Amino acid sequence: MKQALFAEALGTLFLVMTVVGSGIMADQLSGGIDGLALIGNTLATGAMLVVLITILGPVSGAHFNPAVTFTLTLAREISTPLAMGYILSQICGGLTGTILAHLMFDLPLVQIATTNRASLPLYCAEFIATAGLLSVILIGRAYRLSSLPLLVGLYISAGYWFTSSTSFANPAVTLARMFTDSFSGIAPSAVLFFIIVQLLAAWPVYKFSTWLTSSQNSDNQG
């Protein structure tokens, strides 16, 4: 259990450090061209997700995301006490990731973001982004488990571009990004609403994926 909790903290730390750090680097090198900066941010995040899920998946399941943990708790694949431990580890890891990213780029270790993302279209985008991510994970586990790291990395990379919110899709990452006033930041006014809609995606996705993969489960039992 200790190894699993450490893996969740470490994975979320590196995920957030990559999101924030690559955002800072991309913003510095892009000459003020946001689209170019977003490409750099996207590539780094997608690549890091593939790496983290591949190496830490066997240890903890590589959730790195309270929405994933909550969904698997609904599916009774993880106990409530362990889920709470996972979520606490993810939050601590995410906050540490922001601090370390700032340390590397000689910024104040803790900032409060000023990027305003408080709007109904962005909340809708976060629900869609999170529902899509959870679907990829649950359905991918049923049909293409060995491909799951690549599936998640590719989905998040695509989500940066097909959603208006750039696909946070992760309450721990959302909270951590509130403490960076950089390219990837999110002002406090939107954080709670982002987290609520991200968690609201869990139940319908759990029910949908259970229905969709029921034939696969029946075939395996047969």
In a domain, 202, yes or no: yes
- Is the C-alpha dihedral spanning 211, 217, 219, 222 positive or negative? negative
137, with CB counted inside 10 A (0-12, 13-18, 19+), is: buried
In a domain, 137, yes or no: yes
Crossing angle for the helix pair 188-200 and 202-212, to the nearest 10 degrees: 30
Task: Look at residue 119 in the predicted model and tell me its pLDDT.
Answer: 98
Domain that holds residue 174: 2-213
Task: Look at residue 188 in the predicted model and tell me its pLDDT.
Answer: 98
In a domain, 219, yes or no: no
In a domain, 49, yes or no: yes
Please report, in tens digits, the pLDDT of each residue of the chain (222 residues total): 899 999 999 999 999 999 999 999 999 999 989 999 999 999 999 999 999 999 999 999 999 999 999 999 999 999 999 999 999 999 999 999 999 999 999 999 999 999 999 999 999 999 999 999 999 999 999 999 999 999 999 999 999 999 999 999 999 999 999 999 999 999 999 999 999 999 999 999 999 999 999 876 555 554
Q: Which residues contact 137 (CB under 8 A, 6 or more apart)?
A: 68, 71, 148, 151, 152
In a domain, 44, yes or no: yes
Given a contact cutoff of 8 angstroms between Cβ atoms, the answer to whether 126 and 190 are in contact is no
Triad 160, 65, 128: Cα angle to 5°: 45
pTM metric for this prediction: 0.94
Domain containing 175 — which CATH number? 1.20.1080.10
In a domain, 209, yes or no: yes
Given a contact cutoff of 8 angstroms between Cβ atoms, the answer to whether 14 and 95 are in contact is no
In a domain, 90, yes or no: yes
What does the radius of gyration of the chain's CA atoms come to, in whole angstroms? 17
Q: What is the tally of structural domains in the chain? A: 1
In a domain, 184, yes or no: yes
